[in-house]
Amino acid sequence: MRSEKPKLGQNFLVSPAAQMQIVESLGDIAHATVVEIGPGKGAITTLLLPRAARLLCIELDHALAAAAQARWAAAANLTIVNASVLDADLAQLAWPGDPRSAAEKLVVVGNLPYYITSDILLHLFAQASAIDRAVVMVQEEVADRLAARPGTRDYGVLSATTQLHAKVEKLFTVPPEAFDPPPNVHSAVVRLTMRPRFEELGVPREPFLRFTQRIFQQKRKTLANNLKAAGFASDAIQKALADSQLAPAVRPEEVPVEQAAQIYNVLTSNAKK
Ligand code: SAM
């Protein structure tokens, strides 16, 4: 059967209004180094170039990257990198070998290739300390999961992981007709203002992200059962839930990250005893 999915998630944005709305959602970029993920044929790039102090574009498709190089060969504030964003260390690309990089934060923008949306977001979160904000187009269903509040149907591991790294705003929706070729889904633009919460919650990033994945391992099971499956002892789980004022049968999607952090701290301090 022929796949209807375009190569490399290439649904080009052809609506001038949506292109402009995305750029305006970045706010003031006059002094910023902007990173565009997947410039494609340059729909958003064209608007960014006169507005941003510097623009760094990362495009996996060799032909598209070469075409962009040729088109903007004279643009002094533009760098095009032919690579996968998933392999890119953004701060290193923006300021090669420059230790001052920590002082300035990047602004990221992209009409993302949908086949790797989650991977790209996780890659950005891993580099959150180098990023101020990101405005990204994703499938609307993903946007709803990113922004979902605990206790709602859409809340899950992607919501918790995202909200541990960023303030999430779902800005506007974009219909399939705004793209060429049109995708099979509706899209939405989301702004992620990076502000990692690990320090405030008193949890170490990597272990707590792994713990978050485990508590959502089986979304239909109770939190207690997922914790048991992760190897924690029943009595320790009961104590952790009671300490966090959670009912014994609470489900993972009902647990805000603050309480998940509390449970993590009780369980791991028990394990150390
Ligand atoms: N920005 C353009 C627009 O809005 O019309 C193109 C958007 S299109 C949805 C996604 C773009 O990401 C394509 O140009 C595709 O080649 C590129 N892409 C796909 N996978 C990528 C990856 N791993 N790293 C960088 N770019 C990628």
Reduced to 3 states (helix: H, G, I; strand: E, B; else coil), residue 254 is: helix
Q: Which of 170, 196, 222 is the last residue of a domain?
A: 196
Are 117 and 139 contacting, i.e. CB atoms less than 8 angstroms apart? yes
Domain of 76 in residue numbering reads as 12-196
- The answer to whether the CB of 198 is under 6 A from ligand 1 is no
Measured by CA distance, the residue closest to atom 14 of ligand 1 is 40
- Residue-level pLDDT at 21: 98
Q: What does the block give as tokens for 218?
A: 């089986």
Same structural domain for residues 178 and 59? Answer: yes
Measured by CA distance, the residue closest to atom 12 of ligand 1 is 38
Q: Which of 138, 172, 196 is the last residue of a domain?
A: 196
Going from the Cα of 44 to the center of ligand 1, the distance in angstroms, rounded, reads: 11
Measured by CA distance, the residue closest to atom 5 of ligand 1 is 12
Same structural domain for residues 184 and 245? Answer: no
- The answer to whether the CB of 113 is under 6 A from ligand 1 is yes
> Which pLDDT tens digit goes with each residue over 50-76?
999 999 999 999 999 999 999 999 999
Query: Mean pLDDT across the chain, nearest whole number?
Result: 94
Q: What is the dihedral of CA 34, 39, 43, 44, to 10 degrees?
A: -20
Reduced to 3 states (helix: H, G, I; strand: E, B; else coil), residue 18 is: helix
Going from the Cα of 165 to the center of ligand 1, the distance in angstroms, rounded, reads: 24
Same structural domain for residues 75 and 208? Answer: no
> Has residue 170 got a pLDDT over 50?
yes
> Has residue 272 got a pLDDT over 60?
no
- The answer to whether the CB of 18 is under 6 A from ligand 1 is no
> Which pLDDT tens digit goes with each residue over 73-111?
999 999 999 999 999 999 999 988 776 656 789 999 999
**Overall number of domains in the chain:** 2
Taking alpha carbons only, the member of 156, 153, 87, 91 closest to residue 116 is 87
pLDDT band of 223, cuts 50, 70, 90? very high
- The answer to whether the CB of 38 is under 6 A from ligand 1 is yes
